Chains A and B, each alone.
Chain A
Amino acid sequence: MANLGSNRRSDRGQIILVAAFLLAVTFVVLALVVNSAIFTENLATRDDVAGSHDALDHRAEVQASVGTALTSINNENGTDLSDKKGNLSKSIDNISQAGGLHQSTQGRLVDVNWDSSDSEEGVRIYQNNASRNFSSDSRDDDWVLTDSGNFDVRNFQMNITEPEEELFPLGGSEPFRLVANDTSDGDIEWNMTVEYDGSLPTGEGLVVNVDHPNHDEVSCTHELEDDAGFVLLDVTGASIDGESCHALSQLQDEDGTPMWFGEGVDEYQIEFQNADSIQGTYSFVGDDSMSTTGADDHPEDPDEAIYSVTVDYEFYTSQVAYETDIRVAPGEVPS
């Protein structure tokens, strides 16, 4: 018989040993699973790829910087077109260098290039004398600034001085009117009037009314600062002293009805009416389809100008690439 006494050698527990070994393997697999779970938490908290948002942010900065340079260079009176292009080329090189240097500290390669042939020429019509009303050179209060045509206008700004004295009061018969007049059809025009309102509960105000063929008249009111002496009306930028004016941009109705300058008219000529009811400076730039040969005499001769430029923008990091053209036409109304 087998010797099953207590003095036999100890070899019990084989199954427990095997089971313990298998459990150990299970724990190792569990450790892999827990490790993956921790890694997933880490992956979830990571930001987007570095530079992916900056590619677009910097693009907007470049567009704004080039726009500012273009506006400033166009406003230099007495320089001809080739001088303006030369100055703009230098400005764009500076913008590219400054931006590139800043971005290179974060490991990004950024470049902005401009070929001076990549531009659209235009004409700038303006008045710099802030003490003069908006009448023509021969003091006509109702006059035509441009020939009739299908053209675009941008950066139409008026700096209205002494609004409480010079502007026609609200409800008066002859407030200043800016008109984009379609002469082929007598009733079709986009127009804007500017009036002064001294009866606002909060003080004095400027009232801008806009009317065009596709919508009834809409108004916006801007409260004037005490003793400011002037107010800046940006017609194409739809703002008064920096405050947005829906009557010049887009209504918050169901259709988002646009009210932008020139809305509802295709071919038009620009006219001032009751130009003695406003005083200050004005300036706008038209594209190469705008001409002034048949227009009335301007108080200051229209200047050659650059209407728009197209620059080449490149943004590279080790993981992100964005290369595109950017068309810069500051103050242009949306199409």
Chain B
Amino acid sequence: MSPSLFDRSRPTDRSVSVALGYVLVLGISTILISGLLIAGGNFVEDNRERVIDSEMKVIGNHIAGNMEQVDRMVTASEDNMGDGPERAHINQSFQRLVTGSSYTVQVVDGDPPQVVLRSSDPEVTVHVNMTVQTDVEERTVSGGKISVYYDDSGSDGKLVITSA
């Protein structure tokens, strides 16, 4: 006897394509989960840029502070003796990577002189102003152990930054 259309004890799957069902389920699942991953990825990337920005600002302020302190040592000697000190330097170690990205530190002469930090990936740039009376030498070094020293080998003494 053929089963009746109204027999509720047996499930019916007439005119249902299994392959289409699977394609739809997999497709929608893939789209939803991809959306979740893309949003999550963007969230992480945005936060990574923000953290790199604040991390480099902190490092930049420490370096600018060191340069201002060496400048104070130089001007104390110049005000007293008319000449700079024989030696003045401050060394400080910072991490080589900021949130997984390497970075460079550049000293730019200007009004006012600035310490500029740039990370490589993602590309974030931070500027920190400093107030110094001694001239500064423009130079770029990579992040890590930084030394700020007074160089009087030229005609005028200058503040120089280098990798220690």
Contacts known (A16-B33, A29-B44, A322-B87); A48 close to B100, Cβ less than 8 A: no
User: Would you list which residues of chain A between 174 and 188 have a CB under 8 Å from chain B?
Assistant: none
User: Would you list which residues of chain A between 300 and 327 have a CB under 8 Å from chain B?
Assistant: 310, 319-327
Interface size, chain B (Cβ < 8 Å): 44
A200 close to chain B: CB less than 8 A? no
Q: By CB atoms of chain B within 10 A, which of A22, A33, A44, A53 has the most?
A: A33
Interface contact A30-B47, CB-CB below 8 Å? yes
B127 close to chain A: CB less than 8 A? no
Interface contact A16-B29, CB-CB below 8 Å? yes
Complex Cα spacing A43 to B61, Å: 11
Complex Cα spacing A168 to B81, Å: 42
A56 close to chain B: CB less than 8 A? yes
Residues of chain B contacted by A324 (CB below 8 angstroms): 73, 76-77, 81, 84-88
Interface size, chain A (Cβ < 8 Å): 37
B40: nearest chain-A partner, CB-CB: A26
Interface contact A36-B85, CB-CB below 8 Å? no
Contacts known (A43-B58, A324-B77); A15 close to B91, Cβ less than 8 A: no
Interface contact A40-B88, CB-CB below 8 Å? no
Q: Is the interface of B mostly helix, strand, loop or mixed?
A: helix
CB A326 to nearest CB in B, in angstroms, measures 6
Contacts known (A22-B37, A30-B44, A55-B73); A40 close to B54, Cβ less than 8 A: yes
A33's partner among B44, B58, B72 (CB-CB below 8 A) is B44
B115 close to chain A: CB less than 8 A? no
Residues of chain B contacted by A30 (CB below 8 angstroms): 43-44, 47
B105 close to chain A: CB less than 8 A? no
Residues of chain B contacted by A46 (CB below 8 angstroms): 62
Contacts known (A40-B58, A48-B65); A321 close to B89, Cβ less than 8 A: yes
Residues of chain A contacted by B58 (CB below 8 angstroms): 40, 43-44
Interface contact A56-B85, CB-CB below 8 Å? no
Chain B window 114-149, contacts with chain A (Cβ cutoff 8 Å), 1 for yes, 0 for no: 000000000000000000000000000000000000
CB A103 to nearest CB in B, in angstroms, measures 16
B5 close to chain A: CB less than 8 A? no
Contacts known (A4-B18, A323-B85); A43 close to B59, Cβ less than 8 A: yes
Interface contact B55-A43, CB-CB below 8 Å? yes
Contacts known (A16-B29, A26-B40); A56 close to B73, Cβ less than 8 A: yes
Interface pairs A-B: 9 shortest CB-CB: A324-B85, A19-B33, A36-B99, A323-B87, A40-B55, A324-B77, A319-B91, A44-B58, A323-B86
Listed in ascending order, the chain B residues whose CB lies under 8 Å from chain A are 18, 26, 29-30, 33, 36-37, 40-41, 43-44, 47-48, 51-52, 54-55, 58-59, 62, 65-66, 69, 72-73, 76-77, 80-81, 83-92, 94-95, 98-100
16 further contact pairs, Cβ within 8 A, besides A23-B37, A55-B73: A16-B29, A19-B33, A26-B37, A30-B43, A33-B48, A36-B98, A40-B54, A40-B58, A43-B58, A43-B59, A48-B65, A48-B69, A49-B92, A56-B72, A319-B92, A327-B81
